[in-house]
């Protein structure tokens, strides 16, 4: 299945089908990533795509979202912010075509721009082995934990 993630960013989702009856167009069980089970393509749209689209809109509406086209554009913007206020740790979120189904978090603790990937899944933003919902919870978790050893 191909899904329009955001603007001109598309995600290709592999769907495994099983329990296919003779003459049926598709199997009666559809599986995505061995984690999500569905009975029809309509159910995939309702329980997978629509919840993910809501999460994407939440990210895009956030004040720290950057509409950068490439990682280099995002990096340049963050370095400029760091230069203007060296004591701060600037961070931004972006959706880049090279990382389908991910929101990219970039931040500058010292001089180097670091990037991390947040997967958008129906249950929330999957980041450091945990689903975070809403988006502000993920941001708060990041701000609290990025300096810890466990991070």
Which CATH number is 46's domain given? 3.30.505.10
CA distance 72 to 148: 28
What is the per-residue pLDDT for 150?
A: 82
pLDDT over 70 percentage in the chain: 100
Is 151 within a domain?
no
Read off the pLDDT of residues 67-124 as tens digits, 9 standing for 90 and up.
Answer: 999 999 999 999 999 999 999 999 999 999 999 999 999 999 999 999 999 999 999 9
Q: Is residue 124 part of a domain?
A: yes
Structure tokens at 101: 């189904």
pLDDT at 25 over 90: no
145 — pLDDT class (breaks 50, 70, 90): very high
Q: What pLDDT score does 62 carry?
A: 98
Q: Is residue 113 part of a domain?
A: yes
Please tell me whether residues 83 and 25 are part of one structural domain: no
Residue 66 lies in a domain: no
| pLDDT at 24 > cutoff 90 | no
Residues 94 and 43 both lie in one domain: no
Alpha carbon distance 90, 7 (integer Å): 25
Whether residues 49 and 88 share a domain: the answer is no
Counting residues of the chain whose pLDDT is more than 90, the rounded percentage is: 90
Q: DSSP of the chain, one letter per residue?
A: -EEEEETTEEEE---EEE-PPTT-SS-SEEEETTTEEESSHHHHIIIIIHHHHHHHHHHHTSTTB---SSHHHHHHHHHHHHHH-TTS--EEEE--TTSTTEEEEEE-SSSSPEEEEEEEETTEEEETTEEE-SHHHHHHHHHHHTTSS--
Q: Which range of residues forms the domain containing residue 6?
A: 2-60
Query: Has residue 138 been placed in a domain?
Result: yes
Could you read off the pLDDT of 3-17 as tens digits, one per residue? 999 999 999 999 999
Within a domain: 49: yes
Mean of the per-residue pLDDT values of the chain = 95
């Amino acid at each position: 299945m191909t899904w329009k993630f955001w603007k001109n960013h598309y995600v290709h989702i592999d769907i495994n089908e099983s329990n296919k009856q003779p003459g049926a167009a598709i199997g009666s069980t559809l599986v995505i990533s061995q984690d999500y089970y569905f009975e029809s393509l309509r159910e995939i749209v309702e329980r997978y795509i629509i919840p993910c689209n809501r999460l994407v809109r939440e990210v895009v509406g956030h004040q720290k979202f950057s509409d950068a086209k490439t990682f280099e554009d995002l990096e340049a913007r963050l370095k400029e912010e760091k230069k203007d206020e060296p004591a701060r740790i600037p961070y931004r979120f972006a959706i880049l075509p090279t990382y389908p189904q991910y929101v990219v978090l970039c931040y500058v603790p010292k001089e180097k721009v670091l990037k991390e990937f947040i997967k958008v899944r129906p249950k929330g933003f999957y980041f450091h082995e945990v689903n975070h919902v809403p988006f502000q919870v993920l941001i708060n978790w990041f701000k609290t934990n990025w300096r810890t050893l466990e991070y």
